[in-house]
Structure 1
């Protein structure tokens, strides 16, 4: 079905696309397109590939909720990713249903409380180690240090500390390389695997490392089972909807998929937090006062999360301005109409939380850092799809609550023990995730 001319459809020509890419790269092009469209459904001309850009909350509700069954994870991102993450929690259909059921069980209710009790001492130990290493004052790589802290948290929660921390770090490094090397495959999903693209060799080496670490670990755990709250135990004890156990490969791929969300995304968000706070000394003073009042000089505990009200608002605002999942594709399974615009079967839609979070209609002075946007009253009065850093609909991130509580405890613990500065300027780069273009220097000084 051809796309008809419609006043509700904004179009970006191929020449404007090429000019925009030269001026500011993919992210700059997206930002300019978002400002011009102001929420209008947009079709971007990339030659043979003409995706729709979807950023208005009403349109997002149609795609993610009202007609969610029609908009599936298509070839643009998910097909290349499936080589790394499989068709379980990162896919669709029966395998996805089995994985999601188990992950939701693992990251909610009593299991979530047990995980939180496990993460608190991990956070205390990781920050204490960092404090020792910067005892004389030091400049560190923010993303490296945030990743190191997050991995200390993830090891017991994911694996029940079945592997040494050095091996967990090696696994994370391999997953990061594999995930980062998929960019060309995602940009050119129609290119056969037999045709080499940049990143293919790095992907192959990294995935072999992942398999060498995870598959023997899963086999050992299966033959020496133990009941525990860690995610690997829950996956081994769980099964498919038909009652059969999950295969070793399925469990490994699910762990990799959640490893990306649990480690890289968390570490990136914490890195962006220090960048954002550098120009907000008043907010930093309030955060440190809250951390001192809640922690009282002691280690963090699960029950502290509820009291860290400002810290959680600051994290929410960082997730708004620096949505790590900056663009998420969907594919229309059947013809549809969105706000009067015809969308043909097979069309690609790109949902961009990064742009939705900058719509002036829903966010006054959208580029200003303002944690008070997330008071209970203002959240209640806002469109429910105006804020979606963790997605929405059936595929909404299952680890949202876990991330927010672990991140709040990390921030409070660091501020209670360390002073910080970010001397440089961090420029975002639109890779698979929203990353800093260059290293972010973080200057740390112990308070005591």
Structure 2
């Protein structure tokens, strides 16, 4: 095995510690080690020698823009290699693939994710979120500890189900979907860390992955078939995709409808779930941020409110807290690409077939771009701030593959936060911010357990 990470010429060479020296740090805190490499590189590409895989790590905002937007056609996510091949085993062809299949899926679904369209769904989502959070009353009264991640997943699933399926998925099936997606994310971790292994070579998690995908298909495929047999005129995503036609005017196959619905549902729920699971530990560790957030919620949202679009617009500090949370814990922390043809990035020649890894996590923690990068400070997103490169902050990716559900997230996440924290205060069983776990999305490395108290009992402010 090659024993060092090197900065590729013609960029000026800078020595990087050999792999034996880096290994303890990689094992202890791989994300911190990658950020340290990015800081040391000072904007140059870093090539990592990881045995059979030698990816280029892209950290500079201008280089991220080159890969994700300016020359995006030359950087394919396709279905092979790190991350995308294992993800496609779950989502199939469609919005999370590349090429003509991706383009067709994106074109079909884009009208359902415009700002105007999502704005029209705020009331529907807010009612669903409110009903889901109402169910916290009994465990709060009983003083029962709750798995914050699982419960937030349930709330988010309820909201997205109301938008995508017009509430045609039962609550029991929603819980099954949340559990199955959680199992899939953890099972894919092994495939993501071993991208050079063929699918035929078994790894830990394969059996759980197949079982979880089967559980989701057992729910989704009958929904698609029932919609096909008894089509509705509704405009939810399931009804719309079932009515859709391909370029030849033919109905989409059931499998393609399933792939697109599952891809979007997983993206819309998993991104919000992964991020908001970090929120409670971060607020617990930063009481001054929590106090200011509570003060804003107390002023704008009364306990029991079904939060309106107008109220969301007044929650400027809540929005800043979420923006800073996205900076420090971007769910899509790793965006691998494969180079189609030879290219040059910042003076470094990158040959066709190379793996290029763009990481919002690393870029958004670089000291030269973000003063005090490891401190949680929502003030970065309030008032007059220094202008930064567009790709100094890109938690939803960029270019043609920028997350189609970005605007949905920007309404859904503050809606969940405002509804939950206007009604309850929380206490954590284990204080402190957990270490990160490297899965497909960035998740806390331990379970976050919470105890809820109604605001009236806990005291406002």
Q: Which among 294, 313, 332 is matched to residue 306 of structure 1?
A: 313
Question: Alpha carbons of 1:149 and 1:20: their partners in 2 closer, same or farther (altered >3 Å)?
Answer: same
Alignment partners' CA distance in 2, 1:30 and 1:40: 13
| Cα distance, 1:32 vs structure 2 | 3.1
| Paired position in structure 2 for 1:261 | 267
| Paired position in structure 2 for 1:77 | 83
Q: Does 1:214 align with 2:225?
A: no
Question: Alpha carbons of 1:3 and 1:33: their partners in 2 closer, same or farther (altered >3 Å)?
Answer: closer
| Paired position in structure 1 for 2:4 | none
| Paired position in structure 1 for 2:19 | 14
Contact 1:419–1:445 under 8 Å retained in 2: yes
Contact 1:114–1:229 under 8 Å retained in 2: no
Q: Does 1:446 align with 2:454?
A: yes
Q: Which moved more, 1:404-413 or 1:281-290?
A: 281-290
| Paired position in structure 2 for 1:327 | 334
| Cα distance, 1:87 vs structure 2 | 1.9
| Cα deviation 1:117-169 (Å, max 9, x = unaligned) | 21011111122211332124343211111111111111111111112111122
Contact 1:120–1:300 under 8 Å retained in 2: yes
Contact 1:333–1:345 under 8 Å retained in 2: yes
Listed as ranges, the matches of 1:101-112 within 5 Å are 101-112=107-118
Question: How big is the alpha-carbon RMSD for the aligned residues of Structure 1 and Structure 2?
Answer: 2.1
| Cα deviation 1:249-273 (Å, max 9, x = unaligned) | 1121122222222222211211111
Q: Does 1:429 align with 2:431?
A: no
Q: Which moved more, 1:323-332 or 1:275-284?
A: 275-284
SS in 2 for 1:278: helix
| Cα distance, 1:218 vs structure 2 | 0.3
TM-score, normalised with respect to structure 1:
0.94
SS in 2 for 1:342: strand
| Paired position in structure 2 for 1:63 | 67
Alignment partners' CA distance in 2, 1:37 and 1:280: 31
| Paired position in structure 1 for 2:394 | 388
Alignment partners' CA distance in 1, 2:94 and 2:383: 35
| Cα deviation 1:46-100 (Å, max 9, x = unaligned) | 1232110011101111111111111110422112211111120001122211211
| Paired position in structure 2 for 1:251 | 257
Q: Which moved more, 1:142-151 or 1:244-253?
A: 244-253
| Cα distance, 1:373 vs structure 2 | 1.1
Alignment partners' CA distance in 1, 2:21 and 2:98: 35
| Cα distance, 1:9 vs structure 2 | 6.8
| Paired position in structure 1 for 2:347 | 340
Alignment partners' CA distance in 2, 1:176 and 1:343: 36
Unpaired segments of 5 or more residues in structure 2? 1-6, 457-461
| Paired position in structure 2 for 1:194 | 200
Q: Does 1:129 align with 2:135?
A: yes
| Paired position in structure 2 for 1:29 | 33
Q: Which among 370, 376, 398 is matched to residue 369 of structure 1?
A: 376
Question: Alpha carbons of 1:329 and 1:9: their partners in 2 closer, same or farther (altered >3 Å)?
Answer: farther
| Cα distance, 1:6 vs structure 2 | 3.4
TM-score, normalised with respect to structure 2:
0.91
Q: Which moved more, 1:238-247 or 1:391-400?
A: 238-247
Alignment partners' CA distance in 1, 2:13 and 2:358: 17
| Cα distance, 1:4 vs structure 2 | 4.1
Question: Alpha carbons of 1:224 and 1:46: their partners in 2 closer, same or farther (altered >3 Å)?
Answer: same
| Paired position in structure 1 for 2:121 | 115
| Cα distance, 1:340 vs structure 2 | 0.7
Alignment partners' CA distance in 2, 1:68 and 1:129: 45
SS in 1 for 2:145: strand
Q: Does 1:50 align with 2:54?
A: yes
Alignment partners' CA distance in 1, 2:383 and 2:15: 34
| Cα distance, 1:104 vs structure 2 | 1.8
Question: Alpha carbons of 1:4 and 1:285: their partners in 2 closer, same or farther (altered >3 Å)?
Answer: closer
Unpaired segments of 5 or more residues in structure 1? none
